[in-house]
Amino acid sequence: MQLTLARHPVTDLRFDTPARLEGSILLIDRAELRRLVLEDESIVSVDFDIARPGERCRAGPIFDVIEPRAKAPGCGADFPGILGAPITAGIGTTHVLTGAAVSVLAEISPDPTRSATGRVLEMSGAPVEASEYSSLQHLIVIPHTKPGLPRQTLEKAYRLAGIRVAVEVARSAWNHLPTNLQTFEPVGPGEKGRDGRARVAYVGQIFSRQRKPAVDEPILYGANTDGMLPVMLHPDEWLDGAVVPSLHSWFGGTETYFYQNHPIILELYQRHQAREINFVGTVATIAGSDNFDRERHCRAAANLVKWNLNADGAVLSKYGGGLPHADLAETARLLEGMGIKTSVMVSDVSRDRRVESALLFNVPEVDAIVYNGGNGKQWEVPRVDRIIAATPEFTELLAGPMTIDASNIVGITNQQGASRMRAMVY
């Protein structure tokens, strides 16, 4: 595995033909993109828009945010298992348009009982310092689906539309000179050259069986993870399109953008490069549907970390809502029992803002906890000049002024490690 990212910084987006990258300006061919998106029969029409940092502009509900990336010709498949054959991701050169994002809107909130607006992209005002997305140039994709389709069909349509567009616009980089190239250092349980350094693994949940996945729901190399046991992945597979979020969006926050730019994996790579640790690999796991399922996965994941990765320490993250904290804690507990030190990252589930209501586990050995906040913070946001939304109802709903929760702004709460919103105990 040798992944090379060829970075092309983007500072502006404009609509024009033909699609191309001129310096740092990305010219986007709407007609071409429309043809591509409409190949999916679930979508009857699609609009495109652009949102720039600092603009008094708001878009939502956001279904996903994707970084425009395209494999160099001959270097493999984009989103293998979804857009093409499931060949191994993370090999060869991938072109990246940094500073840009493709953001797909949904026509419905993922959970209207929890939030009428769903997750919102806020490009100006107080919330922007809390989300990386506010500093990117966004190509907004607004698909309109055929009426009467089941919810999961809509969600799959949004997923495919987003990644197709992201790959297509990134192909403009094929004939463009990258500003820099980053080749990741080899990592793995058998790699030499870091004797004496602590062997560290990452265990990340990629799905939660609090819900059953759709038969054709693509998550890991296009498979829906149903019935699957934990599996070892090379870190570059996460970074290069092997994993996408589930169709159901959780308010804890998971976007394709932060799989491509996985904060935890990139952090471990940095320490590996600096020879502080020996990054030995990762395990992708699933939060169980019941006690047996949980037991089965936690043990299998811990065993992989111990016997296959031979790690001394592991960092763990979760996916989904509250119950997956049990899987998180149990996996960590088992690892600690095997002599492997752990740290875990939890989401904020406290409703009454009391610490005692927030911790969903009480395992003395699992004592290194990073606490992602977001449940207690709100902002008063003003009326903005422009709303980008799929329906007139949402245009109305998002207009403002209004009070918006931190967990309802995309990029503030995040289960992949990107968040800087911490829940402080006082």
Partner 1 sequence: MPCPYSRLSPRAYPEEFAMRIAHYLNQFFGGIGAEEHAGKELEVRDGAVGPGRLLESLLGNDARIVLTLVCGDNYAVEHQDEVTASVVEKVRHANVDLFVAGPCFDAGRYGMAAGALCRAVQAELSISVVTAMSEENPGVDLNRDALYIIDSGTSIANMRNVLDKMARLSRKLVTKEPIGLPHEEGYLRRGWLRDQLVEKKAATRLVDMLLAKMNGEPFESEMPPTAFAPIPMPAGVKNLSRAKLMLITDGGLVPKGNPDRIEGTAATRWGSYSIEGRDDLRAEDYEVSHGGYDTRFVQEDPDRLVPLDALREMEKNGVIGKLHDEFISTCGRSNPLSNTRRLGREMAAKIKRDGVDAVILTST
By CB under 8 A, the residues from 263 to 282 that bind partner 1 are 263-264, 266-268, 271, 276-277
H-helix or E-strand spanning residue 344: strand 341-346
**Cα–Cα distance between 270 and 280 in angstroms, integer?**
13
Which one of 42, 312, 322, 391 is in contact with partner 1 (CB under 8 A)? 312
User: Amino acid letter at 393?
Assistant: E
| C-alpha distances out from residue 84 to 6, 65, 80, 152, 343, Å | 22, 21, 5, 21, 36
- Which helix (DSSP H) or strand (DSSP E) does residue 6 occupy? strand 3-9
By CB under 8 A, is residue 416 in contact with partner 1?
Answer: yes
In whole angstroms, how far apart are CA 116 and each of 141, 142, 149, 282?
20, 18, 21, 36
- Using CB atoms within 10 A of its CB, is residue 299 exposed (0-12), middle (13-18) or buried (19+)? middle
* Cβ closest to partner 1, residue 105 vs residue 265: 265
Between 31 and 355, CB nearer to partner 1: 355
| Closer of 172 and 414 to partner 1 (Cβ) | 414
Q: Which is nearer to partner 1, 146 or 194 (CB)?
A: 194
Helix 291-303, helix 324-337: angle, nearest 10: 40
Q: Among residues 61, 373, 400, 411, which is the contact residue for partner 1, using CB under 8 A? A: 373
Residue 282 C-beta: closest distance to partner 1, Å: 13
Q: Which of residues 169-188 bind partner 1 (CB under 8 A)?
A: none
Among 189, 313, 321, 382, binds partner 1 (CB under 8 A): 313
Q: Note if the bond before 382 is cis, omega within 30 degrees.
A: no
As measured in angstroms, the least distance from the Cβ of 342 to partner 1 is 7
CB of 392 to partner 1, least distance (A): 33
Q: Which of residues 135-154 bind partner 1 (CB under 8 A)?
A: none
Looking at the Cβ atoms of 215 and 274, the one nearer to partner 1 is: 274
Lateral strand order in the sheet of 57-59: 121-122, 57-59, 386-388
Preceding peptide of 218 cis, ω within 30°: no
Q: Note whether 195 binds partner 1 by CB under 8 A.
A: no
Of the candidates 11, 12, 29, which has an alpha carbon nearest to the alpha carbon of residue 20? 29
Q: Which of 50, 116, 229, 368 binds partner 1 (CB under 8 A)?
A: 368
Nearer to partner 1, 290 or 356 (CB): 356
Q: Are 50 and 213 in contact (CB under 8 A)?
A: no
Closest to partner 1 by CB, 11 or 357: 357
Task: Restricting to residues 96-135, name those near partner 1 by CB under 8 A.
Answer: 129-130
Among 254, 348, 387, 408, binds partner 1 (CB under 8 A): 348
Listed residue (338, 242, 235) closest to 279, CA to CA: 235
Contact positions toward partner 1, by CB under 8 A?
A: 129-130, 198, 200, 263-264, 266-268, 271, 276-277, 312-315, 317, 341-346, 348, 350, 353-356, 358-359, 362, 364, 367-377, 406, 414, 416-426
